[in-house]
Amino acid sequence: MLLSPKTDQLIKALQVLPGVGPKSAQRMVLHLLERNRQGGLQLAAAVQDCLQSVDHCARCRVFTEEPVCRLCKDPRRNAKTLCVVEAPGDLMAVEQAGSYDGRYFVLMGRLSPIDGIGPAELGIPQLLKIIEEDAVTEVILATGSTVEGEATAYYISEQLKSSPVQVSRIAHGIPMGGELEYVDGNTLAHALAGRQVIEND
């Protein structure tokens, strides 16, 4: 025991947060007790409120406390383009990039038969239904470039083979500002295979 049972308990409880170990949890507890009890109580209320009311969007499966999320309800978003991602964090990353104005579908995972995660768990039947009902014209597969991510993208593209929708995969290659010398061979191989012709007018 360091100080008292209740501070110890909080030090332990804070370690459910990713990236928080015993030392930083200790620092957080002392910070809240010494400098920001009000902020700490607001944090407790926000955690409770968020975890008790946030569920999945009925349409795209992202996290939201409403039945349908704001992106699915937004009439300014292009409903004809659908970007398929693995997780809400991926959706947020694409949103923050700021160049995409279509809609999303969040798989909440990737195909992994060994863990019992098949098409049904990823909501793929629901995805196919949305594509048909909304007459989506392009599906962008933005799953990760891991083995499972690639397999998931491949599976979805196979399901859409007979449909008129255009299916695309996000590009893999050299990150912006990346130096060729320091890029791994796999990425470089993808960047070469995905080369695009420069058309000068």
Contact positions vs a second copy (CB under 8 A): 1-7, 9-10, 12-14, 16-19, 24, 26-34, 36-37, 39-54, 62-66, 69-70, 87-89, 91-92, 95-96, 108
User: Among residues 68 and 135, whose Cβ is nearest to a second copy?
Assistant: 68
User: Among residues 66 and 101, whose Cβ is nearest to a second copy?
Assistant: 66
Shortest CB 50 distance to a second copy, Å: 4
Shortest CB 200 distance to a second copy, Å: 40
CA angle 180-184-189, nearest 5°?
80
User: Among residues 1 and 193, whose Cβ is nearest to a second copy?
Assistant: 1
Number of Cβ atoms within 10 Å of the Cβ of 124: 19
* Torsion sign (Cα): 9, 10, 14, 16: positive
- The phi, psi pair for 167, rounded to 5°, reads -110, 130
Q: Which of 155, 67, 145, 88 is nearest to 117 (CA)?
A: 155
Query: In this structure, are residues 77 and 101 in contact, taking their beta carbons and an 8 Å threshold?
Result: yes
Shortest CB 53 distance to a second copy, Å: 6
Shortest CB 8 distance to a second copy, Å: 9
User: Among residues 64 and 81, whose Cβ is nearest to a second copy?
Assistant: 64
Q: For tokens 């409120």, name the residue.
A: 49
